[in-house]
């Protein structure tokens, strides 16, 4: 075992040393539970061990796998950006690239006047969900109950 570190730095993310390795890797944007679990299985690290006892060599190995999962032997369906609109290649986006790409996709949909673009523009549901009763924002929801009826004259 290596010396305990209070903060482990992987891909520019500070992960507390007391976190378990599985939970610690999921703090990196672009790495979910399944991907983190697969990485730990591939490298042979115990998911229940603490991040603080991870040595630099292991952290570097994990970082290389996260940067290029295809090189590490992960299948295409494991990547989070398949058939990119601009390049047509399969990618795995990380950290701020995810937010940037999503923002660009939504802006492209708006500019092409697609149905999805209009839905995004007006803040409505995009993926065909029901909107009659759900997704209401702001204001009072429900039926306003009136006062007592005035007696007739």
pLDDT surpasses 90 at 33: yes
First to last CA, the chain: 90
Element (H, E) at 9: strand 7-10
Question: Which range has the worst mean pLDDT, 24-38, 75-89, 127-141?
Answer: 127-141
100 shares a domain with 72: no
Q: Is residue 70 part of a domain?
A: yes
pLDDT surpasses 90 at 36: yes
- Which residues does 77 contact at the CB level (< 8 Å), separation at least 6? none
62 shares a domain with 11: yes
103 shares a domain with 66: no
111 shares a domain with 58: no
72 shares a domain with 23: yes
Task: Please report which confidence band the pLDDT of residue 4 belongs to, taking 50, 70 and 90 as the band edges.
Answer: confident
Domain that holds residue 38: 7-76
Distance CA 86, CA 68 (A): 19
51 shares a domain with 100: no
Q: Which residue from 46, 59, 56 is spatially nearest to 20, judged by alpha carbons? A: 46
46 shares a domain with 105: no
CA distances from 139 to 43, 93, 119, 143, 144 (A): 52, 37, 20, 12, 12
| Continuous H helices in the chain | 21-25, 33-43, 56-67, 96-111, 115-121
What is the tally of structural domains in the chain? 2
User: What's the mean pLDDT in 67-84?
Assistant: 89
Question: Which range has the worst mean pLDDT, 40-49, 123-132, 134-143?
Answer: 134-143
Q: Would you state the pLDDT for residue 60?
A: 92
36 shares a domain with 82: no
pLDDT surpasses 90 at 5: no
pLDDT surpasses 90 at 140: no
Indicate the DSSP class of residue 95: T
pLDDT surpasses 80 at 139: no
Q: Is residue 32 part of a domain?
A: yes
Q: Is residue 97 part of a domain?
A: yes
Q: Is residue 101 part of a domain?
A: yes
Model pTM? 0.74
71 shares a domain with 18: yes
Provide the CATH number for the domain around residue 38: 1.10.8.50
Q: Would you state the pLDDT for residue 143?
A: 64
């Amino acid at each position: 075992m290596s010396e305990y570190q209070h903060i482990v730095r992987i891909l520019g993310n500070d992960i507390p040393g007391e976190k378990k390795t599985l939970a610690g890797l999921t703090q990196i944007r672009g790495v979910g539970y399944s991907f983190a679990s697969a990485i730990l299985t591939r490298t042979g690290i115990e998911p229940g061990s603490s991040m603080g006892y991870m040595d630099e060599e292991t952290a570097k190995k994990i970082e290389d796998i996260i940067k290029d999962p295809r090189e590490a032997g992960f299948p295409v369906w494991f990547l989070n950006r398949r058939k990119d609109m601009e390049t047509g290649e399969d990618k795995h986006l990380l950290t701020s690239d995810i937010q940037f790409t999503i923002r660009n996709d939504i802006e492209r949909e708006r500019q092409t006047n697609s149905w999805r673009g209009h839905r995004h523009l007006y803040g409505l549901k995009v993926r065909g969900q029901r909107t009659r009763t759900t997704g209401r924002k702001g204001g009072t929801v429900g039926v306003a109950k009136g006062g007592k009826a005035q007696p007739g004259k």
